[in-house]
Amino acid sequence: MKAAVLVFPGSNCDRDLAVALRGAGADVEMVWHKETALPEGVDLVAVPGGFSWGDYLRCGAIAARAPVVPALRRHVERGGYALGVCNGFQVLIEAGLLPGALMRNAGIRFVCRTVALKVTTAHSRFTAGYRTGQSLSVPVAHHDGNYFADAETLRRLHAEDRVAFTYGEPVNGSVDDIAGILSANRRVLGMMPHPERAADPALGLTDGAALFRGLVEDAVPA
């Protein structure tokens, strides 16, 4: 499986994400935000955490207008896989590839800790390695992870089984405790928690590893 990790000037989890993908067996290429095309034959585009453009304006808003984003959009429109973690989730929302908005945490402050996460649907390549309802321990680290969507969008997300993860404890004030959502074709996942920080036994957390394993082993080409 071939993955491209996008690198914006303020990305800082790009290496972490590449390490986790490679650990699961993916062939990973880093792609600079000024590129206008993705490498040939990419199955997955991963948008990493960090502060893509310093989180100036709204988080992810400037990155969503980077030269590489039209290529990401074409990849998604063709049915390719995309994963956005933390700031990557913010970028996917700002690019209109996932619905809703991520607002400042309800508690106002930045929050970095390992939280309880619930797998809300195992019905996607990202979550196929889990059981629906399974509890995970995965770190969060964000200032703007308070997910919000209008009533109609929420109704659709739930009706279409597109909420991938919910928080098992109060974290940031997200509506319906939403921590991650899928696109309508279930091939784009955006999530605030960092599975790449929970994919190495040496760090004491391993619950994120199944996400990368499932993705790499089971991905079908676009």
Partner 1 sequence: MIEPKITDDLVEAHGLKPDEYRRILDILGRTPTFTELGIFSAMWNEHCSYKSSKKWLRTLPTQGARVICGPGENAGVVDIGDGQVVVFKMESHNHPSYIEPHQGAATGVGGILRDVFTMGARPIAAMNSLSFGRPEHPRTRSLVSGVVAGIGGYGNAFGVPTIGGEVRFHRAYDGNCLVNAFAAGIANADAVFYSAASGVRMPVVYLGAKTGRDGVGGATMASAEFDDSIEEKRPTVQVGDPFTEKRLLEACLELMASGAVISIQDMGAAGLTCSAVEMGDKGRLGIRLNLDRVPVRESQMTAYEMMLSESQERMLMVLRPEKEGAARAIFAKWDLDFAVVGETIAEDRFVIVHGGEVKADLPLAALSGTAPEYDRPHRPTPAPQPLDDVPAIDPIEGLKALIGSPNYASKHWVWEQYDHMVLADTVRAPGMGPGVVRVHGTSKLLAFTSDVTPRYVAADPVEGGRQAVAEAWRNLMAVGATPLAATDNLNFGNPEKPQVMGQLVGAIRGVGEACRALDMPIVSGNVSLYNETDGSAILPTPTIGAVGLLASADELIGAVPQAGDAVLVIGATAGHLGQSALLAEAFGREDGPPPPVDLDAELRAGHFLHGQRASIRAATDLSDGGLALAAFEMAQAGGIGVEIEVEDIPTLFGEDQGRYLVATADPEALLAAGRAEGVAVALVGRFGRSVVRFGSVEAPLEALSRLYLTAFEAAVADLAPRSGAA
Element (H, E) at 202: none
Nearest to 47 by CA among 183, 178, 194: 194
**CA angle centred on 165, ends 216 and 49, rounded to 5°:** 65
- Check binding of 94 to partner 1 (CB under 8 A): no
Q: Which residue, 187 or 194, is less far from partner 1 as judged by CB?
A: 194
* 196 carries an active-site annotation: yes
- Check binding of 50 to partner 1 (CB under 8 A): yes
Instruction: Please tell me the distance from the alpha carbon of residue 49 to that of residue 85, in angstroms, as a whole number.
Output: 6
- Check binding of 194 to partner 1 (CB under 8 A): yes
- Check binding of 53 to partner 1 (CB under 8 A): yes
* 194 carries an active-site annotation: yes
Count CB neighbours of 147 within 10 A. 28
Burial 172-200 (b: 16+ CB within 10 A, else e): bbbbebbbbbbbeebbbbbbbbbbbbbbb
- Check binding of 33 to partner 1 (CB under 8 A): no
Q: Compute the least distance from the CB of residue 161 to partner 1, in Å.
A: 30
- Check binding of 173 to partner 1 (CB under 8 A): no
Q: Which residue, 25 or 221, is less far from partner 1 as judged by CB?
A: 25
Cα dihedral 193, 11, 210, 25 in deg (nearest 10): 180
Asked if residue 181 lies in contact with residue 195, where contact means CB atoms within 8 angstroms, the answer is no
Q: Compute the least distance from the CB of residue 156 to partner 1, in Å.
A: 28
Return the range that interacts with partner 1 (CB under 8 A); candidates 94-102, 104-112, 161-169, 172-180.
104-112
- Check binding of 22 to partner 1 (CB under 8 A): no
Instruction: Please tell me the distance from the alpha carbon of residue 57 to that of residue 129, in angstroms, as a whole number.
Output: 37
Catalytic residue, from 13, 86, 94, 142: name it: 86
User: Residue numbers of the site for partner 1 (CB under 8 A)?
Assistant: 9-10, 12-13, 15-16, 19-20, 32, 34, 49-51, 53-56, 58, 104, 108-113, 139, 141, 143, 194, 196-197, 200, 202-204
Catalogue the active-site residues. Answer: 86, 194, 196
